[in-house]
């Protein structure tokens, strides 16, 4: 029993340490705590304690994730939503986190991304070129409706 209590304390301190170094979501921490072979109820207690002490905040995690992926990777909202959803985060938390992206900057990044891709395409046929640009922008996670709306700006 004493060894089990020691495992719980060790799991808590390691997770607190990890959370203080980098932003983590509750689902990731849950997976890491499970590696210590701790019962589910106690896992919930550890996570609740980490949340109470502000080590874990899923909304803060989503905002940081969205900012980074948009700024450095130039990802669109669809791709970010998909990855955040796969982490087990709720739609409400994801949508609130998406609000950090400015609509004008989002449009500018989309157009810039499509222009850069259009420059690299050697095809002469306008429709083939458009198809490749559209597929590329969609693979980056941008919404098809926005891609088609700003396609003319990208091909200028």
Specify the residue for token string 């849950």. Answer: 30
How far is CA 72 from its chain centroid?
12
Residues 6 or more apart whose CB falls under 8 angstroms from that of 26 comprise 47, 51, 56, 58
* Residue 1: predicted pLDDT: 54
Supply the pTM of this predicted model.
Answer: 0.89
Taking Cα atoms as reference points, which of 110, 114, 18, 20 lies closest to residue 30?
18
Q: Note the residue count of the chain.
A: 156
What residue ranges of the chain have pLDDT lower than 50? none
Query: Sign (positive/negative) of CA torsion 112, 113, 115, 119?
Result: positive
């Amino acid at each position: 029993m004493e060894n089990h209590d020691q495992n719980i304390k060790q799991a808590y301190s390691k997770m607190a340490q990890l959370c203080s170094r980098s932003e983590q979501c509750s689902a990731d921490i849950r997976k890491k705590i499970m590696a210590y072979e701790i019962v589910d109820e106690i896992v919930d207690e550890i996570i609740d304690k980490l949340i109470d002490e502000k080590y874990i905040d899923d909304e803060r995690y989503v905002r940081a994730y969205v900012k980074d992926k948009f700024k450095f990777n130039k990802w669109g909202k669809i791709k970010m939503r998909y990855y955040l959803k796969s982490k087990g985060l709720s739609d409400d938390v994801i949508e609130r986190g998406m609000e950090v992206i400015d609509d004008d900057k989002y449009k500018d990044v989309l157009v810039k991304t499509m222009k850069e891709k259009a420059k690299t395409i050697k095809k002469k046929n306008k429709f083939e070129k458009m198809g490749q640009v559209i597929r590329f922008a969609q693979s980056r996670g941008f919404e098809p409706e926005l891609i088609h709306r700003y396609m003319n700006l990208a091909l200028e």
